[in-house]
């Protein structure tokens, strides 16, 4: 290690001598540069010249969005929105109400790219669920029971607040996300914390739940 430092010091000294010679021939600018180099060398630990900074690698281009069908969407051109396949709706069709269908289509157009949207199912999971009556949908932002990233949680709140802010027009009965619930009849209380149901999906961290009135 000491041999390497000695070699660097010898090289810097040789460069200083050369720059001094150039400065004598070419005016004061060469001498000034040599002086600045000496000052910089003296400020480094051990009296060695600092290594040049390595420029950061350019960021990799973003991967294309993948729709629920598995096909990659084309990147958006300037000033236009990216074309996107509708997300897959599980338990849709004539098993859900017209109000819920309209809400699903609007949310999917605006936010899209859901791993799935779960609508009608025979077993709602909890007493009084609106899934068996075709009046509830789960907009999945992650799959496999995984806790979403901070960015995906932010998107989930954007969806949940969009439903809240358009509750009258969309016929919202209540919205649940991230262990919080909001409903029009108690709108003045804002988002209310729910009891811990013991899991990511049960606590609605991986999906936004929408129930409609009709």
Tokens of 128: 């009084």
Is 202 found in the same domain as 97? yes
Residues 191 and 136 sit within 8 Å (Cβ to Cβ) = no
94: Cα separation from own chain's centroid: 34
Q: Which residue has the tokens 């010091």?
A: 9
Residues 179 and 205 sit within 8 Å (Cβ to Cβ) = yes
Q: Provide the pLDDT confidence category of residue 7 given band limits of 50, 70 and 90.
A: low
Q: Provide the pLDDT confidence category of residue 105 given band limits of 50, 70 and 90.
A: very high
| Tens of pLDDT, residues 114-162 | 999 999 999 888 889 999 999 999 999 999 999 999 999 999 999 999 9
Q: What is the pLDDT of residue 10?
A: 59
Domain of 167?
89-212
End-to-end CA distance of the chain: 78
Is 144 found in the same domain as 194? yes
| Tens of pLDDT, residues 148-201 | 999 999 999 999 999 999 999 999 999 999 999 999 999 999 999 999 999 999
Q: Provide the pLDDT confidence category of residue 17 given band limits of 50, 70 and 90.
A: low
Q: What is the pLDDT of residue 125?
A: 85
Is 35 found in the same domain as 102? no
SS3 labels along the chain: CHHHHHHHHHHHHHHHHHHHHHHHHHCHHHHHHHHHHHHHHHHCHHHCCCCCCCCCCCCCCCCCCECCCCCECCCCCCCCCCCCCCCCEECCHHHCCHHHHHHHHHHHHHCCCCCEEECCCCCCCCCCCCCCCCCEEEEECCCCCCCCCHHHHHHHHHHHHHHHHCHHHHCEEEEEECCEEECHHHHHHCCEECCCCCCCCCCCCCEEEEEECC
Tokens of 136: 């509830």
Does the residue 22 lie in any domain? yes
Which of 132, 144, 119, 108 minimizes the C-alpha distance to 210? 119
Is 26 found in the same domain as 124? no
Is 196 found in the same domain as 125? yes
Does the residue 80 lie in any domain? no
Q: What is the pLDDT of residue 65?
A: 43
| Tens of pLDDT, residues 27-64 | 444 455 444 444 444 433 344 333 333 333 334 334 33
> What CATH number does residue 164 fall under?
3.30.1380
Q: What is the pLDDT of residue 95?
A: 96
Count of domains forming the chain: 2
Does the residue 84 lie in any domain? no
pTM of the full structure: 0.62
CA–CA gap between residue 133 and residue 36 (Å, rounded): 79
Higher pLDDT, 106 or 11: 106
């Amino acid at each position: 290690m000491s041999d390497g430092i000695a070699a660097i010091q010898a090289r810097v000294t040789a460069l200083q001598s050369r720059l001094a010679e150039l400065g004598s021939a070419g005016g004061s600018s060469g001498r000034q540069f040599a002086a600045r180099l000496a000052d910089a060398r003296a400020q480094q630990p051990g009296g060695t010249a600092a290594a040049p900074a390595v420029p950061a690698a350019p960021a990799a281009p973003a991967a294309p969005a993948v729709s629920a069908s598995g096909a990659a969407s084309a990147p958006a051109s300037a000033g236009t929105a990216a074309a996107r396949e509708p997300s897959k709706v599980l338990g849709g069709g004539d098993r859900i109400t017209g109000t819920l269908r309209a809400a699903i289509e609007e949310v999917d157009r605006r936010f899209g790219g859901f791993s799935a949207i779960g609508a009608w199912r025979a077993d709602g999971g909890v007493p009084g669920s609106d899934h068996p009556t075709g009046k509830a949908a789960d907009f999945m932002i992650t799959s496999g029971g995984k806790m979403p990233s901070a960015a995906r949680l932010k998107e989930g709140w954007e969806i949940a607040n969009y439903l809240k802010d358009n509750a009258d027009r969309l016929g919202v009965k209540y919205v649940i996300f991230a262990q919080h619930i909001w409903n029009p009849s108690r709108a003045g209380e804002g988002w209310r914390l729910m009891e811990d149901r013991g899991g990511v999906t049960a606590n609605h961290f991986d999906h936004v739940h929408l129930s409609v009135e009709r």
